[in-house]
Amino acid sequence: MLKVGITGGIGSGKTTACKLFSKLFDIPIYYADSRAKHLMNFDPVVKQQIKEILGTEAYHNNGRLNRKQVSSIVFKNPNLLKALNSVVHPAVQEDGLKWFKQLPKKYPYAIKEAALLYESKSYITLDKIIVVHVDNETRIQRVIKRDRSKREAVLARIKNQMDQNKKIKMADFLLENDSLKNLKIQIQKLHIELLALSK
């Protein structure tokens, strides 16, 4: 089975692309961000390591991650963010590999969706990488609408991410997400290519 990664900057439409792969061709998708949240909430080893880095107040009394508290600490302190990532990224990578392994053999390929596919080095474990791209202004408007964020906050998040052009250079495939119709056409073509590669 071909292990495919899909990434792109915030607001590029990675999730939309994944939903189309799933809906049109029944391709299984691993969503790294939601799995990271799950592991941070329920994996005892990950939780213990996070407490060692950020203190017990990183968790509520019910054992759930105190996201507000964690965000307020790590985004002001690059070293703590790095330490947190050094716990979460390897855990998600291992979890993702297990997920690929347990999938039924009937699937020609499966997709791992991750915002930090390159930054976390998890692209190394995958066979092919797709980057979803759209111009910056479209991304900004999408995120403002989706998250009800302020423009400055979106720009700060974009600035914190790896440059789009760098991602494109490292990609095997590029999906231009300027419209849903156009994205759908590209995914239909790409599906045929991935089927051929998986044989």
Check which CATH number belongs to the domain holding 192 and give it. Answer: 3.40.50.300
Low-confidence ranges of the chain (pLDDT < 50): none
Give residue-wise pLDDT tens across range 136-167: 899 999 889 998 888 988 888 888 788 989 99
Is the domain of 132 the same as that of 195? yes
Of 152, 120, 168, 156, the closest CA to residue 12 belongs to 168
Q: State which of 102, 127, 152 marks the end of a domain.
A: 102
7 DSSP β-pair partners: 131
What would the two tokens of residue 196 be?
Answer: 């051929």
Which pTM value belongs to this model?
0.91
pLDDT (0 to 100) of residue 157: 81
pLDDT (0 to 100) of residue 98: 97
Which residues constitute the domain of residue 124?
A: 1-28+109-199
> Number of folded domains in the chain?
2
pLDDT (0 to 100) of residue 20: 98
Is the domain of 114 the same as that of 97? no
* E strand intervals along 72-195: 109-113, 128-133, 173-176
Q: State which of 49, 68, 102 marks the end of a domain.
A: 102
CA atoms of 50 and 70, how far apart (whole Å): 10
pLDDT (0 to 100) of residue 159: 81
Q: Is 124 inside any structural domain?
A: yes
Q: Is 35 inside any structural domain?
A: no
